[in-house]
Amino acid sequence: MDTVLDIEHLSTHFNTEEGVVRAVDDVSLRVRQGEIVCIVGESGSGKSITAMSVMGLVEAPAGQVVGGSIAFRGEDLLKLGRNELRTVRGNEIAMIFQEPMTSLNPVLRIGEQLMEPLMEHRKMSKKAARKRAIELIGEVGISRAEQIADSYPHELSGGMLQRIMIAIAISCDPKLLIADEPTTALDVTIQAQILDMLRRFKEESGMSILLITHDLGVVAEMADYVVVMYAGKVVEEGEVVALFENPQHPYTQGLLKSKPIINQRQDELYSIPGQVPNPLELVPSCYFHDRCAHCMDICRTTEPALKETANRQKVACWLYEEANPHV
């Protein structure tokens, strides 16, 4: 399979009054054609900033990509000029966000917002764009397409707006769709519809999806490949079945154990003690060490590298390090 997106050693930092926050810290990941890769992590893990960095949405001077490369079909996006990036963005790479209401323009009709990328990237005439816009509204499962095209965002529900966002995203047949928590703000029955739809579009068009979520249930349902992030770092990655059946990093293990599962009730839930470290106070170490039940001396002083283990999984943990004298 061809690699569509190849992120190598990406670091994105934010300058705050109190110091530098390394929101994304030496992250590498790869999305192949037709594949759904999920980045899973809790708040502050850097999963959204990774996606924003790909789209060139991290605004200087507050934040900055300070290192690494983001190759999209072989071309480094970080080296593109403003205009060149514009032709890629919204065209070959599209993105949808958690809050569809805040990504749509409240004073433009739905139809006009759908026509915009078609006219900009596909050079369609106004008439052709409108025709295609109405088709697209139908394709995302909304009836009365003409009427919806003439309404404003505030007249539609959250689920409908997210469908419209997806329609805009797929309008130019992107090779890669980045979806940042696309169903988090939606009810479960609507979430099920949206996830089904994303999967269907992927099957039909062969596009790749980089899906960012905190919900392990969504990951299990959607992902081919999973990347687990913690405090700006990738701590584990692997194919979805292997990773869920045999999680190796203590954080991944804890995360999977602490999620209540329907029809598998336990008297007490496992919970990871403590909380995410303050990003300003990180020193070279495994960032999970103070919450980890297997913490050793080396974990407090030296950062573990991400290394491949037997079953094609990669994990950054001293427990699996052969050079580690403690094992």
The site for another protein (CB under 8 A) is made up of 42-43, 157, 159-160, 187-193, 195-196, 214-221, 223, 240-241, 244, 254-256, 258-263, 265-266, 268-273, 275-276
Smallest gap, in angstroms, from Cβ of residue 85 to another protein? Answer: 33
Give the H/E segment covering residue 205: helix 188-205
Instruction: Report the alpha-carbon distance of residue 304 to residue 302 in Å, rounded.
Output: 6
Q: Which is nearer to another protein, 188 or 323 (CB)?
A: 188
Q: Which is nearer to another protein, 118 or 223 (CB)?
A: 223
Per-residue b or e along 88-120, where b marks 16 or more CB atoms closer than 10 Å to that residue's CB: bbbbbbbbbbbebeebbeeeebbbbbbbbbbbe
Smallest gap, in angstroms, from Cβ of residue 262 to another protein? Answer: 5
Q: Which is nearer to another protein, 148 or 298 (CB)?
A: 148
Q: Which is nearer to another protein, 57 or 269 (CB)?
A: 269
**Which residues are 75's β-sheet partners?**
72
Q: Which is nearer to another protein, 19 or 217 (CB)?
A: 217
Q: Which is nearer to another protein, 172 or 256 (CB)?
A: 256
Smallest gap, in angstroms, from Cβ of residue 200 to another protein? Answer: 12
Smallest gap, in angstroms, from Cβ of residue 324 to another protein? Answer: 25
Smallest gap, in angstroms, from Cβ of residue 126 to another protein? Answer: 30
Phi, psi of 114 (to 5 degrees): -75, -30
Q: Which is nearer to another protein, 11 or 45 (CB)?
A: 45
Indicate the SS3 state at residue 116: helix
Cis peptide before 304 (omega within 30 of 0): no
Smallest gap, in angstroms, from Cβ of residue 42 to another protein? Answer: 4
Nearest one of 246, 229, 253 to 306, comparing CA atoms = 229
Smallest gap, in angstroms, from Cβ of residue 218 to another protein? Answer: 5
Instruction: Report the alpha-carbon distance of residue 46 to residue 25 in Å, rounded.
Output: 8
Pairing type for strands 233-239 and 314-315 reads: antiparallel
Percent of residues in the chain assigned helix, strand, coil, to nearest 5:
40, 25, 40
The beta strand positions in 240-312, using DSSP E, are 307-308
Residue 42 half-sphere exposure toward CB, CA atoms < 13 A: 14
Region class of 304: left (phi > 0), else alpha (psi between -120 and 50), else beta: beta
Q: Which is nearer to another protein, 2 or 19 (CB)?
A: 19
**Tokens coding 170:** 């797929």
Indicate the SS3 state at residue 252: helix
